[in-house]
Structure 1
């Protein structure tokens, strides 16, 4: 009751009450800021993992010792390993893509429709066009940012140039081919929307010279004289098998963090074909390590806001103790113990911290839940790009609130608020009633 009376302002105590209110606001701002920043950083990490691992597998398997012509059998064997969700094979190469007066380097990845359907993130992302009859389309799929860079739309031709072309007496000549744009997709990640181009598997194998014709077993070519016409392509298909190669295979597992165990299983249980495995943590080690360090540093720095607010609780309580010295003396003469005096001022300061913390939690959760809406509003109002996608890789500002982190922030704020009350409450309990009332 007494602590509640001290929290309510009276005219002559308005200044102390204002300081207590500002302290409460400081705690609320510190808690809200910490929750919002940690939520945004959690969302940023989760979104990057979703986008990166939605297209690139948790493991990439590269063939060694012999050509990767048995890619279908290898992928089928990998998918039988316990803990593997699915696997896909692909052809990959670097080329120069040209559109209407603009060129840029891109990564071409050749995949058939069966494997594309396994990549839900990509298969469900077309903005224009679609994947129907993809294997027979002889076209390409590009991100909408790459389409803007090249200045092309659906149905336009894109020319791709590979320096490793046909050999001539004067050296290698660039290989140049044009393909129609059949799909324009939007993955929401700048890297993939700007630098990736997809192509049906067989055209990609032909373009990167990963096919060869092998005489069918037990078949002999017909005897031809010097004057006989050469065999047509249709006739040659009767005698030769077309064998294509893949560049590598991507393996998607059920638990992305269970890398060490899955590596052992894949190496032990997969097919006899030798493979080199690289996991997503190795490929992105520097990036995600830097992100983790940044999260820890930001949490530490922003916790200082709450610490500053806790010092404000100390100052406001010290002023309140000074102002209430005669009240303390009267309470002591009426039989109040030192412990009860400490409890009065501890409750007063802790109440400031509790109200500020709860207000900050509510404010922080509201802002974190509407982070992208607020970012867009501020950007449009000020005319300034906040979190530009070219720098932060994502098209929107993600946010993911972790209940455990919110609980840690609440405990931190309440703990600092309580500790801040101990010294002023102890000083109040040490007041000598005689000295306090001598000049009253």
Structure 2
């Protein structure tokens, strides 16, 4: 498409010569602007992907991807039969019967707090990677039997608990006695403390063995809910549909993690889209700079264009010369930004550690400390979209100035040049 003649002339026009440095400096700033815009877009999208993946991983690591609960009452009707039916569905990896309820917690030192108790089989709690990685004190190996409990680290700090202390669970439901009514109470021994980096979980959740929870809540051998884990949490909707069809006609409430955390999920998606729009405007502004610099170049080279036309260069050749000038700036800046953004995003962990060491002070409050551990997840499709957008805007920005250059009348240019 571009011959040696067009390439040679375009290169000469882009080089800074005496008296023409302003146009070249403008082109350089255009290149730098589009490079920084593309790089910022790639980096921010990677960090937002990492934030979304980490946040969702923490949420669904503590809870099932799907939850089956009774529409009314506390216990599931024949939970063993329901679990067996759901285990055979495609995409379902694990079905865990659990018991969940609100309790009042009291410690040996007199501290008290409200909490959410979850009864779960010891082997299933140990298999949850978020909890296993988040153990800060004690060990999950001791979780079992009838009197052990795993508590959140912030909850333990608020109540002054240590490993080996007794924690009393008080049910708000009353039970009958000779003296009227009294709350149901049961003591447990603290064997481990976890910290997953989210205050709403670390400061409120506790785990006890499933059998102990069934006895505490008076459910005998029943469960209050089934938690399902699927192969691909991001594609949970088809599995939810299959579960609804398998359990059709039964008085059950089925909720997936996207529905249960719809406000958080929607906020993350909206924030990512807004950041994409804002940073796209930066690239668009840089593309307008290409238009202005190329327009000034066309005006500056009016006599040269007229001379080239009188020497036999056609309008197509002039058009290609200035298209090549603009594409060199725009596409060059896009490719530089692509390399810069991809390099920073793929080495984000090392750069973040260096920044923290240089700063010398925490960048986030303790309750948001997990943000300092966020990964940057590069999505090849998003990077390809950013690259295509940068190249497309760069090429579009060259069309009008190049067309104006090709339409210059040689006689008028020489007469008024």
TM-score, structure 2 length as denominator?
A: 0.86
SS at structure 2 position matched to 1:438 = helix
Q: 1:198 aligns with which of 203, 207, 218?
A: 207
In structure 2, the CA distance between the partners of 1:390 and 1:247, relative to structure 1 (3 Å rule), is same
Is the 2:43–2:344 contact (alpha carbons within 8 Å) kept by the matching residues of 1?
yes
Q: Name stretches of at least 5 consecutive residues in structure 2 with no aligned partner.
A: 1-7
Residues 1:276 and 1:310: Cα distance change in structure 2 (over 3 Å): same
Structure 1 position 33, deviation (Å): 1.3
What is the aligned partner in structure 2 of residue 115 from structure 1? 124
Whether 1:282 and 2:256 are equivalent positions in the alignment is no
- Could you tell me how far 1:24 is from its partner in structure 2? 0.9
* Contact in 2 for aligned 1:188/1:395 (Cα 8 Å): no
Deviations 1:302-328 (A, max 9, x none): 111011001111111122122222221
Query: Could you say which residue in structure 2 is the equivalent of 1:34?
Result: 41
CA shift, 1:11, in A, is: 3.3
Alignment counterpart, residue 71 of structure 1, candidates 73, 79, 89: 79
- Which secondary structure does the structure 1 equivalent of 2:20 belong to? helix
- Pair 1:339 & 2:316 matched: yes
Hey, what's the Cα distance between the residues in 1 that align with 2:340 and 2:106? 49
Correspondence 1:75-86 to 2 at 5 A: 75-86=83-94
1:403 Cα deviation after fit: 0.9
8 Å contact 2:197–2:368 — kept in the other structure? no
Secondary structure at the aligned position of 1:163 is classed as strand
- Structure 2 SS opposite 1:292: helix
Instruction: Report how far residue 163 of structure 1 moved.
Output: 2.6
1:52 aligns with 2:59: yes
Q: CA RMSD in A?
A: 3.0
Please point out which of 127, 143, 155 is paired with 1:134: 143
Alpha carbons of structure 1 residues 368 and 335: separation in structure 2 relative to 1, 3 Å: same
Residues 1:23 and 2:34 aligned together: no
> Paired residue for 1:62, among 53, 59, 69?
69
Within a 5 Å distance, the mapping from 1:309-348 to structure 2 comes to: 309-348=286-325
* Higher-helix-fraction structure: 2
Tell me the equivalent position of 1:97. Answer: 105
Q: Shift in Å at residue 260 of structure 1?
A: 5.2
Give me the whole-angstrom Cα distance separating, in 2, the residues matched to 1:192 and 1:385: 22
The SS at the match of 1:401 is: coil
Question: Which residue number in structure 2 is paired with residue 216 of structure 1?
Answer: none
Q: Take 1:171 and 1:8, find their aligned partners in 2: how far apart are those partners?
A: 95
Q: How many pairs align?
A: 408
In the superposition, the TM-score normalised over structure 1's length comes to 0.82
Q: 1:205: Cα distance to partner?
A: 2.5
Partners of 2:403 and 2:47 in 1: CA distance = 40
Instruction: State which structure, 1 or 2, has the greater radius of gyration over its C-alpha atoms.
Output: 1
Structure-1 residue corresponding to 2:285? 308
Question: More deviation in 335-344 or 161-170?
Answer: 161-170
Question: Counterparts in 2 of 1:167-316, with a 5 A limit?
Answer: 167-168=176-177, 172-210=181-219, 243-256=220-233, 258-259=235-236, 261-269=238-246, 275-316=252-293
- Which stretch of the first structure deviates more once superposed, 294-303 or 162-171? 162-171
